Structures are given as structure tokens and as C-alpha cells.
Structure 1
Amino acid sequence: MFQNKIIPLSYLGPIHLYAYIVNSHQITIEQHANYQRKTYTNRCNITGANGSMNLAVPVVNIKNEKVSLKETLISYDNDWQKQHWRSIVSAYNGSPFFEYYADDFAPFYEKNYKYLVDFNLKLLETFLESIELEVIISLSDTFIEFNNEPDDIRRIIHPKASPEDDKNYKTLEYRQVFSDKFPFTPNLSVIDLLFNKGPETYDILKASILTEEI
């Protein structure tokens, strides 16, 4: 069991990230870094009937100014909540455990959150509750410089980073909703795993990390 991991802020983050979370006693979310586009901060990937889909939470655009994650505001100029939930329902309505967990996640697409960090944090807490796991979660008080120590996994959890390059992680395949149409798609949003495998989600995430610290 890892004692503490420094992780990036994410919107329904990928399985690679959640494997580390499940194998940690405590996690610290870095919230003082500047917001960056095209990261897991405000986007996730799922697979629907027509293939891979990218869901992105729009943020308020401040012209060329650097804004910390803590201060990043969610934009409601368009009805992205309805679109995201419609896409999630379309993708997973036929999955074995969607109806079991849907009511836990649906409220996030009805209530407006001001800050992205609050929205993502509550989603993380809801997921952990759904698999009945307690992890101590803290938000950074100040910016945490990147380091190459095992406790900092921010560099390896990125859309441009390949999970296969992480020697401590292995991809475990499971049956996905559209497996009859598409080959297995690794490292989707953790909700893909949850809706497809339900109570087995914890075991799969736990077994995805190859090394443990005492």
C-alpha cells in the first residue's frame, strides 16, 4: 500500500490513475499548478456505439492569463452537462452495472459547480464511495514542484504518456459494452470499468499495480 501519492486533478480520470489511487492510503491533489488544455484536468475518454468519445468540461476563458487549477471556473455558456450525461447513458445503458450506479453520478450533470476543482473532487469521492473504499484526500496548500520520486505520478498520468511505459502498471482487460464491435480499449475513464465490472472494479484496480510500498 502506497503511503501517499501526489496526483493530478482529473475529470473522471483514467484507469491508470485510479489504480494508483486504490493502492494508496493517502493522495494529494495538486491544485496550484496553472490550468493546461488537453489534459485529464477537464476531459475524459469513453467508448460508445460509434467508437471513442472525448468529453470535455468547458472552462471560462481568460485571455492569455495563467489561472491556477484552484481558480479555474466552469463555463455554462452551453449545456455541456446534458450532452455529457446523454453520451454516458448512450454508452453505458447496456452495461451490467449502469443502473446500479447511475443515480450516484447523475446529479453532477444537474447541479452547477462554480470551480472545476470542486466538481472533480466530488466526483472522485463519489467513485470511492461506490467501491466502498476510504482514501485520505487532501488538496495542496501551495504549488508542489515536480519531482522524480515514486510519490509523484503527475508526469505519467497524461494523455500524451503511455501507461505501457510505467513499469509499475499493467493493463488488465475486461469485457466492455461494445466488445463485439471494437477491440478492447485500454485506459478509458474509470467509469467504463465501474459500469462494466461493478464490484470487481476494486480488485481490477488493485491488481493493476505491480509493486507496493509498505
Structure 2
Amino acid sequence: MLFYPTYFSPIIQYAAIAKAKDITFEICDNYQKQTYRTRCYIYSPNGLQLLNVPIKHMSGRQKTADVKIDYTFNWQALHKKSLDAAYRSSPYYEFYEDEIIGFFEQKHTFLLDLNIKTFELISEIMEWNRKVSKTISYEKVYPNKDDFRFLADAKTKRDFGLSPYPQVFSYRHGFLPNLSVLDVLFNLGPEAEGYLENSGDKIELQ
């Protein structure tokens, strides 16, 4: 299965990964705006909240592998504070707090490295042992792989028919589907893996 590495990816991407044995990350593409490479969504007390990773913009086209993170603004502190406000009262926040909040103490120069590290962190928490490879050149079509790169597109909001699960602030704003995988992890804990596996059947290739 082929994916773009994204930042604490949406639930639907991890639902596909949960069904996969082998994973290939596309790392040879040109950087595109408005994707989950630089953002994720969480459920805050006020509803849907965007967490954005700032990057250093260059003129002209740029390979995703060359995109650098901008630390001029302390976005990591903001992400930690936002996650704490959103999930401190969730059932499993304290269970995963050290691993996930501690993750923001690390600094990565390149966006690609950050995103792959988020995948490795979630895989470690889920106790997954997927075979992971990376592309060596960009191909528009991979005839021998199920291509899930479209899941990185943040412009088109889709709920993919995901089943509701308990969320901290659902009594205020209702169920919000396909948030960052962190949402299902903090709310369902060990049951998150089963939820992801069951949700994987809802994805249709494009």
C-alpha cells in the first residue's frame, strides 16, 4: 500500500494502514499545499481545531523531502498546550501522555522526517510491525500497489462513513469524524486498533 507521510495522520489513513502488511511511503514527490503533510485536526473544547506545522517557503517547486520546518514560532509548545486542553479529560490521555507529549521535545529539520517519526510513534504504541519501504522515484501510477496517496489531500473533507465513538466534547458539538489518529487513541485507548481495522473496509481506491 502506498501513502504520503503526513502529520499525525487522519483516522482514515491509519485505518488503511491497519489493514496493510507492507507499507510504502512516497518521498519523491513535489511538495503540495493544503495537505495533511503540515496539519492535523483535533477536537478542542470549541470544536474542530487545526494544528499546523510551519515550513520555510522557497520560491519555485520544491521536493517534499527538501522542505524544512520553521521554528521561528514555537509551534510545538502550542500543539502540546492544545492537545492538553482537548484531551486532558479523555479516558486515555494520561496513559499515552509521556510518549505523545514528550514527542514534541524533539526537533526535526525536515518535514518528511517529522511525519515519518509520527508514524513510527503511533506504530510503536499500537505494537505494529509493518514492513516499511520508501519510493526511489516518483511515479504517477503504481500498477502493483494499492494507491492511498489521495488520503493526504486536506482540501476535500470526507467522513468516509466512519462509525461514531465517544469523544470528550461530543455533548457540545456532536461527533466529528476523521480527525487525527490521536483523537481515537486518547478516546478509545487499546480499542483504537480494532476501530481502525473495522474502518479500513470503508475506503475506496480512487
CA shift, 1:207, in A, is 0.5
Structure 2, unaligned runs of 5 or more: none
Cα 1:181/1:109, change in 2 over 3 Å: same
1:35 alignment partner in structure 2: 31
SS at match of 1:180: helix
SS at match of 2:170: coil
Report the RMSD for the aligned CA atoms in angstroms: 1.9
Aligned AA (1:32): C
1:203 alignment partner in structure 2: 194
The percent identity for this pair of structures is 34
Which structure exhibits the higher relative contact order, with contacts defined as CA atoms closer than 8 Å and separated by 6 or more residues?
A: 2
Tell me how far apart the structure 1 counterparts of residues 100 and 151 of structure 2 sit (CA, whole Å).
27
| Residue 113 of structure 2 corresponds to residue 122 of structure 1 | no
Cα 1:163/1:111, change in 2 over 3 Å: same
Structure 1, unaligned runs of 5 or more: none
CA shift, 1:147, in A, is 5.4
Contact persistence 2:18–2:200 (CA under 8 A): no
Contact persistence 1:12–1:189 (CA under 8 A): yes
CA shift, 1:114, in A, is 0.7
Cα 1:162/1:54, change in 2 over 3 Å: closer
Tell me how far apart the structure 2 counterparts of residues 139 and 112 of structure 1 sit (CA, whole Å).
22
Aligned AA (2:79): H
More helix by share: 2
SS at match of 2:197: helix
1:62 alignment partner in structure 2: 58
Q: How does the TM-score come out when normalised to structure 2?
A: 0.92
**One of 170, 175, 180 as aligned partner of 2:166:** 175
SS at match of 1:20: helix
| Residue 89 of structure 2 corresponds to residue 106 of structure 1 | no
**One of 7, 11, 21 as aligned partner of 1:11:** 7
CA shift, 1:160, in A, is 2.9
Residue range with higher mean Cα deviation, 50-59 or 144-153: 144-153
SS at match of 1:155: helix
Deviations 1:20-40 (A, max 9, x none): 001000111111111111100
1:25 alignment partner in structure 2: 21
Residue range with higher mean Cα deviation, 103-112 or 86-95: 103-112
CA shift, 1:183, in A, is 0.7
Q: How does the TM-score come out when normalised to structure 1?
A: 0.89
